[in-house]
C-alpha cells in the first residue's frame, strides 16, 4: 500500500456499518480505507478509495510500498499511470510487489481497491501467487474466469459508494464460498511469526517451530504468498525501517534505525532499503521530512 500509515482494523465493525478507519490527504490525493466484514477479515486488510483532489496540489507521485500482499484494483477515472507507464484496461489483479511502485496522482484519479492480507489472496485469485508476483498489474481481461470486467461494469453503474463496496464485498464472499480449501494453519502461524518480529529472526529458527522442514515452507510461501520466506522477511524489515525513520523525523539516526531493524552493518541496510524502495535511507529521510514535516 501507500506510504500513509496503515490502520489497525481489529475491533472495527466492518463495511456493513460503513466504517471509515483511515483517511489521509497528501500530494493532491485523498485516500480512505474501510474495514471488511468479519467473514472476510482473515483475508482482507481493507478496501481503499483513492481520488485526486480537484484544485489541489499539482500532479505528483504516490509511493506504493510492498508488504507481500496482493490486491484487486478498479479504475473509474482517467488513464492510470504507474512507474511511468500507462496501464491498459480498467481493472487489474495486483500481484505481490517486490519493489515500491510509483503512482501518478492527478485530478482525474479515481481508484477503488481491495488489499488482501499477505498469503490470503489465493481463494480469490484461484492460482499460485508465484504466477502473479512482481507487482505488475494483470489486466482483468487476462483472467476472465475472475469476471473482473463484469464486476467493474457493475461497480461503475453503482455510483453510491456504500452500495459499491457492498457489491464488491458480495463478490468476494461468493468467491470465498466457492473455495473449499481452508487456510493452512502452519502458513498463518509462519506469517504471524515473521510479522511479530518485523522480519527479524532466521528462517531456520522459524522452521524449528514447524511440523515440517524448510522445503515445505518454501513451497507454501511460493504458492500462497508468491515470495520466499526470506524475501518476505526483507520486505518486513524495510517496512519497519521506514516507520522508524518517519517516527524519528529530523532526529532520526539511520545507524540506530539499522540496528533496530536487525541490520548489523550499514552497507547491508542501505542495499536492502534501496533494493526495495528505490531510495537510500537518507533519501527516504529527506522525502519523509518533506511529506510529513
* pLDDT, tens digit (0-9, with 9 covering 90-100), for 22-81: 566 565 788 899 999 999 999 999 999 999 876 655 558 889 999 999 999 999 999 999
**β pairing state of 85-86 and 137-139:** unpaired
What DSSP character marks residue 2? B
Is the distance from CB of 118 to CB of 165 less than 8 angstroms?
Answer: no
pLDDT at 98 > cutoff 80: yes
For residue 265, what are the contacts with CB-CB under 8 A and spacing of at least 6?
258
pTM: 0.89
What DSSP character marks residue 207? H
Is the distance from CB of 111 to CB of 73 less than 8 angstroms?
Answer: yes
pLDDT at 15 > cutoff 60: no
* Confidence at 12, pLDDT banded by 50, 70, 90: very low
Give Rg (Cα) of the chain. Answer: 19
Virtual CA dihedral for 212, 215, 221, 222, nearest 10 degrees?
-150
User: In this predicted structure, what is the pLDDT of residue 25?
Assistant: 58
Instruction: Pick one of 3.10.290, 1.10.8, 1.10.472, 1.10.10 as the CATH number of 231-292.
Output: 1.10.10
User: In this predicted structure, what is the pLDDT of residue 23?
Assistant: 61
Cell of 62: 504516490
Average pLDDT over residues 120-128: 91
User: How many whole angstroms separate alpha carbon 270 and alpha carbon 163?
Assistant: 45
- Give the SS3 label for residue 30: strand
Beta bridge partners of 47: 34, 114
pLDDT at 5 > cutoff 60: no
Domain boundaries, the chain: 15-178, 185-228, 231-292
- DSSP string for 212-252: S-HHHHHHHHHHHTSS-HHHHHHHHHHHHHHHHHHHHGGG-
pLDDT at 250 > cutoff 80: no
pLDDT at 13 > cutoff 60: no
Q: What is the pLDDT of residues 180-207, one digit of tens each?
A: 777 789 999 999 999 999 999 899 999 9
Answer yes or no: same fold for 15-178 and 231-292: no
CATH topology of domain 15-178: Jelly Rolls (2.60.120)
Amino acid at each position: 500500500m501507500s506510504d500513509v500509515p496503515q490502520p489497525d482494523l481489529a475491533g472495527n465493525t466492518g463495511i456493513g456499518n460503513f466504517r471509515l478507519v483511515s483517511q489521509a490527504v497528501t500530494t493532491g490525493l485523498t485516500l480512505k480505507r474501510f474495514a471488511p466484514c468479519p467473514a472476510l477479515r482473515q483475508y482482507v486488510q481493507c478496501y481503499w478509495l483513492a481520488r485526486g483532489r480537484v484544485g489541489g496540489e499539482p500532479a505528483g507521485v504516490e509511493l506504493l510500498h510492498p508488504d507481500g500482499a496482493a490486491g484487486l484494483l478498479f479504475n473509474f477515472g482517467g488513464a492510470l499511470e504507474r512507474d511511468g507507464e500507462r496501464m491498459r484496461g480498467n481493472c487489474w489483479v495486483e500481484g505481490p510487489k517486490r519493489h515500491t511502485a510509483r503512482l501518478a496522482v492527478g485530478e482525474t484519479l479515481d481508484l477503488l481497491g481491495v488489499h488482501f492480507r499477505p498469503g490470503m489472496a489465493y481463494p480469490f485469485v484461484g492460482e499460485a501467487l508465484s504466477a502473479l508476483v512482481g507487482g505488475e498489474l494483470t489486466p482483468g481481461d487476462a483472467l476472465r474466469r475472475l469476471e473482473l470486467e463484469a464486476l467493474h461494469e457493475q461497480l461503475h453503474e453503482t455510483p453510491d459508494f456504500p452500495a459499491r463496496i457492498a457489491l464488491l464485498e458480495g463478490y468476494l464472499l461468493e468467491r470465498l464460498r466457492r473455495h473449499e480449501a481452508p487456510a493452512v494453519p502452519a502458513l498463518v502461524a509462519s506469517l504471524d511469526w515473521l510479522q511479530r518480529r518485523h522480519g527479524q529472526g532466521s528462517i531456520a529458527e522459524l522452521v524449528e517451530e514447524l511440523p515440517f522442514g524448510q522445503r515445505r515452507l518454501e513451497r507454501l510461501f511460493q504458492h500462497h504468498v508468491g515470495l520466499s520466506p526470506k524475501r518476505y522477511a526483507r520486505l518486513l524489515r524495510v517496512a519497519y525501517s521506514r516507520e522508524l525513520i518517519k517516527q524519528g523525523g529530523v532526529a532520526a539516526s539511520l545507524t540506530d534505525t539499522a540496528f533496530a531493524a536487525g541490520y548489523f552493518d550499514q552497507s547491508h541496510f542501505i542495499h536492502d532499503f534501496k533494493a526495495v524502495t528505490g531510495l537510500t535511507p537518507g533519501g527516504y529521510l529527506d522525502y519523509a521530512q518533506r511529506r510529513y514535516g
